[in-house]
Chains A and B, each alone.
Chain A
Amino acid sequence: MHCASDRDRPTLIWLQGVTCNGNTHSFLNLPYLPQLLAKYDLLYHPLLPASSTLSEVVQCKRPCDVLVFEGAYDPLMKRHEVLLSELLDYYGMRAGHIIGVGSCASFGGMFKASAPQRNSGLIFDESESSGPLLALKNKVINLSGCPVHPEWLGYTLSMIADNKEIKVDTLHRPLELYSHLVHHGCTRNEYFEWKVDAKAFGLKEGCLFYLQGCRAPMTHASCNRILWNDVSSKTRSGTPCFGCTEPDFPRNDLFHTKTNMSIPEDVPLGVPKRSYLTITGIAKAFHIERLEGKLIDDKTAD
Chain B
Amino acid sequence: MSRHVYVDWRSALSLVGRVVKYLSVPLLIPLFLAVVYGDGILAFAVTIAVALLTGTLLESLYPDDVDIGAREGFLMVAMSWLAVSMVGAIPYVIAGFGTASTVAHPVNALFESMSGFTTTGATVMGDISVETHGEALMLYRQLTQWLGGMGIVVLAVAILPELSVGGAQLMDAEAPGPGIQKLTPRIRETARALWKAYLGITLLEIALLYGLYLTGFAPNMGLYNAVAHGLTTMPTGGFSPEARSIEAFSAIVQWVIIPFMIAAGTNFALFWHVLSGDPKRLFRDDEFQFYVGVLGVLAAAVTGVLFTHGESSIQLVELLSGDLEASARHAAFQVVSIVTTTGYASIDFNGFNEAGTFVIVAAMFIGGSAGSTGGGLKIIRWLVILKVIRRELFVTVHPEAVKPIRLNGKPVAENDIRGIFGFTLIYVVGFVLGTAIIVFDAQRVDLTLSVLEAASASAATLGNIGPGLGIVGPMNNYLPFPPTTKLVMVGLMWLGRLEILPVLVVLTRAYWTS
Asked whether A and B interact, the reply is no
B interface residues with partner A (beta carbon < 8 Å): none
The chain A residues found within 8 Å of chain B, CB to CB, are none
